[in-house]
Amino acid sequence: MINGLVVNQVFLATGVTDMRKSINGLSLIVSEQFGHDPFAGSIFVFCNRSRDKLKILYWECNGF
């Protein structure tokens, strides 16, 4: 648990995400495919094909 973390919602991306994507690529997926604002205080979770790695995108006041 991270102290002081305020989360509105948690979104889990179904399907496979290319783990080579950076913060810019993941935030583009969030805005274009999901239709959500990546800066809104929600957590977005992405999984790779073999389901053994996760990437979590979360905006704080100073960056992702």
The domain segmentation of the chain, as residue ranges, is: 10-58
Would you state the pLDDT for residue 20?
93
CA-to-CA dists, residue 12 to 43, 45, 55, 61, 62, angstroms: 8, 5, 10, 22, 23
Would you state the pLDDT for residue 62?
84
For the chain, 64 residues long, the average pLDDT of each consecutive 10-residue run is 76 92 94 93 93 92 85
Single pTM value for the model = 0.85
Does residue 57 sit in helix, strand or coil?
A: strand
Would you state the pLDDT for residue 2?
63
